[in-house]
């Protein structure tokens, strides 16, 4: 049962990492086509934080998704970074009208 939980947890965070990769690609495309600095390289930071958090929980092999302070802190930092970068990209792409 722990193995199934581990596989499903890892799968869900890999999907989130793929979505963040799409945000990275959108920001890079916008910077190249609109010639405005979108700082698309920073989108790799939350991607890295989420993947590190996932690996932290994978190596614990507890089958739990909560309870590790470092893993939770990595997920929290990745979420905050995603919100900040996503809002910055939204304002940049809409010209501040959002």
Cα angle vertex 70, ends 72, 51, to 5°?
A: 70
pTM for the model stands at 0.82
d(CA 64, CA 26) in angstroms, rounded, equals 34
Kindly give, in sequence order, each residue whose CB lies less than 8 Å from that of residue 52, ignoring residues fewer than 6 positions away: 74
* Per-residue pLDDT reduced to its tens digit, 25-66: 999 999 999 999 999 999 999 999 988 888 887 777 665 666
* Per-residue pLDDT reduced to its tens digit, 11-34: 888 898 899 999 999 999 999 999
Residue ranges of alpha helices (H) inside the chain are 2-34, 44-60, 69-94
């Amino acid at each position: 049962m722990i193995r199934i939980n581990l596989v499903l947890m890892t799968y869900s965070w890999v999907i989130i990492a793929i979505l963040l990769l799409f945000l990275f690609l959108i920001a890079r495309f916008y910077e190249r086509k609109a010639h405005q600095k979108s700082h698309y390289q920073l989108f790799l930071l939350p991607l890295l934080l989420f993947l590190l958090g996932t690996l932290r929980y994978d190596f614990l092999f507890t089958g739990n998704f909560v309870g590790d302070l470092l893993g939770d802190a990595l997920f929290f930092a990745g979420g905050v970074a995603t919100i900040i970068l996503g809002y910055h990209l939204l304002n940049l792409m809409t010209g501040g009208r959002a």
